[in-house]
Structure 1
């Protein structure tokens, strides 16, 4: 099957928490509402179905010969650098007539930062409050460059708003949420809020909320980025950028 616009395969991490996959599928529905949207599918790296391999094999069986995979990831950590490329190589080795182009990850992106800030203020945080301490919470990675991206975003927010802002991580990196709140308290913060650098609800965002409640019982906790139309717009931007790049190198 030859099509002008190949299918867009949104590839998410996957989770044992059903809310995560449901949010990814709902985001795909938002992408589909855009007038410029191609055929949109969903796949997961682990723990949720369909797997990347099954989704690509299914598209191949339908007659597609080119697929653009857009990783629903916020940084260039293990899943983006190693896991997804290895899965794609495995599938294309079995299906040599199938070409899969993997786009850049979604984050960081100014639109996603705007969504995270809107989620934060929507939860009740007042960024003009000089006594507010904001924790920008992310998953954390053993790849330090991925953590540095989150730290830079937090520093940027810290420089633009009276509220004090610092980064924290759910796993594999420091500081964790209690340490970040202690750091903010030492800088004079009296009230606290947690911004979410996650796409969907799940076990790690829940862990962050629990830790925040233990360290600062009145802390405001923002929802993940979720199905905001700006997230869908970034997905389509990555898809379009990938096609343009493929055309330039063809």
Structure 2
């Protein structure tokens, strides 16, 4: 029997780069598991919307769905928006909400991949300060996760690691870059801890003007595609799923 449909839920953006990146990531995950049906839905701005995808799946006779938030932390969208949308799904669907992507060692590997692709010399890692730049959140749990990720990265050989935020929280990227210079790091690299381009990643890039290296967003990194499938497998067992919505 085929497994549940994987529905990847992205936030959406007016920036066309956002949807293009989401689709590229989903396509990479699909290529890793040819027998798995993978759908994409957006909460806002882009089509198809999550309700529209769920209605289509129900009309096709699909019963089981794993809904995977394309999010790095459990902030408002994972705790409120997505569960609210899933509760309104057609009653014939049995939906399990998977956990968010982070934290995960695969994300750290993807971050380093992007840094090296941007030109960072691996031999300079110990003399390089790293800014872990996220979109930002008003949710204390999400902020704490970013701080934990920064501490974990610090133990992988960087000169120093500082978190930064494009909105809602401080410090900003440019302030973290200057702080690392003041700490004596020979060079500074900025790693956007975000999945797709958009307004806030652009703000991170603007704040990285004084950095030596600016990595690209995580995007369709192979580690992220692998992580989508890992979260899917975790959520397939109802006892391990974060939330279940059954009609």
Q: Secondary structure at the match of 1:166?
A: strand
Aligned CA RMSD, in angstroms, stands at 2.1
What is the deviation of 1:246? 4.8
* Deviates most, 238-247 or 111-120: 238-247
TM-score normalised over the length of structure 2: 0.91
What is the deviation of 1:182? 2.4
1:230-241 map, 5 Å: 230-241=223-234
Structure 1 match to 2:37: 39
Contact 1:31 1:37 in 2 (8 A): no
* Structure 2 residues not aligned, in runs of 5+: none
Residues 179 and 42 (structure 1), Cα distance of their counterparts in 2 relative to 1, 3 Å cut: same
Contact 1:37 1:236 in 2 (8 A): no
What is the deviation of 1:190? 3.9
1:133-144 map, 5 Å: 133-144=129-140
Match among 74, 77, 101 for residue 75 of structure 2: 77
1:1-250 map, 5 Å: 4-35=2-33, 37-91=35-89, 95-126=90-121, 128-213=124-209, 216=210, 218-246=211-239
Number of residues of Structure 1 aligned to a counterpart in Structure 2: 242
Q: For residues 103-127 of structure 1, give each alpha carbon's deviation from its aligned partner in whole angstroms, at most 9, with x where no partner exists.
A: 0011111011101111112212245
Looking at structure 1, the residues matched to 213 and 49 of structure 2 have their Cα atoms a distance apart, in angstroms, of: 35
* Structure 1 residues not aligned, in runs of 5+: none
Looking at structure 2, the residues matched to 247 and 176 of structure 1 have their Cα atoms a distance apart, in angstroms, of: 37
What is the deviation of 1:131? 4.0
What is the deviation of 1:61? 1.2
Looking at structure 2, the residues matched to 179 and 55 of structure 1 have their Cα atoms a distance apart, in angstroms, of: 42
* Deviates most, 10-19 or 122-131: 122-131
TM-score normalised over the length of structure 1: 0.90
Hey, which bits of structure 1, 4+ residues long, moved more than 6 A?
none
Looking at structure 2, the residues matched to 119 and 143 of structure 1 have their Cα atoms a distance apart, in angstroms, of: 27
Q: For residues 170-206 of structure 1, give each alpha carbon's deviation from its aligned partner in whole angstroms, at most 9, with x where no partner exists.
A: 1111111122122212211242211021111222111
What is the deviation of 1:159? 2.6
